[in-house]
Amino acid sequence: MPSPKTITSSVAFQDPQGNILANGSIIFDLTAPAEIASGGGQVAPSRVSVTLTSAGLIPNGSVIWANDQLNPTGTVYRISIFNGNGLAVEVGQLWSIVGASPIDLSLETPVSTATLSFPAPGLNAQAFTTSGTFTIPTVKVKVTVIGAGGGGGGAANANTGGGGGGSGGATIKYLSGLTVNNTLAVTINAGGSSSAGANGNNGGSCSVASGTQVITSIVANGGFGGLSNSNGGVAGSGANTGSGGDILMAGTAGSDGQVGANVAGGDGAGSIFGGGGVGGATTVAGTSGSNFGGGGGGAGSQASNSGGAGASGFVLFEWVL
């Protein structure tokens, strides 16, 4: 039968002003229901409360079920620390309590000149504008993926404007049951390019996929490029809906290029962040998408004009500590 682990502190807990938390308290709340692993067979208490000594230390004999003793794996304790008057000093910090007994809680946060450091709780975020690796900070994370925008169409001749590029789609997923410090793979692709007298290229898809953490891939598709046509540049369609999300949003289409002498190209479509490129005026190139996932503007009439490039994709992770 396993036993809970002893916890201690080699450094007194203090408030941000350096006052020792004499007779203060620490409340440990599990972030998910859990039971004791290795044959324990009982549910771990969801809350443990410890009253500090007059010296601001964990009292002798204090015990807790450590996170490496619990199923499911990946649980952590949400910590609330109070002074002797019951006023909150820290609320919402996450501690992963693991290791051999006794566990020194002074080592759970940075210690400098005998003062424990407490980061501010609240909403946190990490944005990716290029491909990379996301390290999971907590068991629940919101993921927003935006596909890249399509390029604007180049002008076919002096009597037609290029079509505007379509916007990238958006896929939103609420992940749960994650393991802290596992990783996810982020792929960001560029917006569609454009050249004179040619169709705009499609924007690339963007995704979040398994790293050391296994998930269903979260994909947002890129928008389609605007066309270059002697009878009027047809706008690129918005991205098809992606996959792997709780919310799946298709992109929107750009605007058609105008037909006639000295006319403008069509506008690129905006993503959920807006920012579609503006269609070029007479004899002017289209502008690029300005916000993530925006389509490029079509070229104004004149065969030497190109459309604007679509904006690249984007991934945003958000979580609360």
Query: For the whole prediction, is pTM greater than 0.75?
Result: no
Task: Determine the pLDDT at residue 17.
Answer: 77
pLDDT above 90: residue 317: yes
**pLDDT confidence band for 1 (50 / 70 / 90):** low
Each domain of the chain, given as residue ranges in start order, spans 5-116, 122-321
- 5-116: which CATH topology? Tailspike Protein; Chain (2.170.14)
* pLDDT, tens digit, 9 for 90 and up, residues 185-209: 999 999 999 988 899 999 999 999 9
Q: E strands within 84-137? A: 88-95, 103-104, 111-112, 115-116, 123-128, 132-135
Give Cβ neighbours of residue 294 (< 8 Å, ≥ 6 apart): 149, 167, 168, 191, 268, 269, 270, 271, 273, 274, 275, 276, 277, 310, 311
| Contact in structure between 194 and 153 (CB atoms under 8 Å) | yes
Q: Does the N-terminal peptide bond of residue 2 adopt cis geometry, omega within 30 degrees of 0?
A: no
**Which pLDDT band, with edges at 50, 70 and 90, does 43 fall under?**
confident
Distance separating alpha carbons of residues 92 and 123, to the nearest angstrom: 11
Cβ contact 291:275 at 8 Å: yes
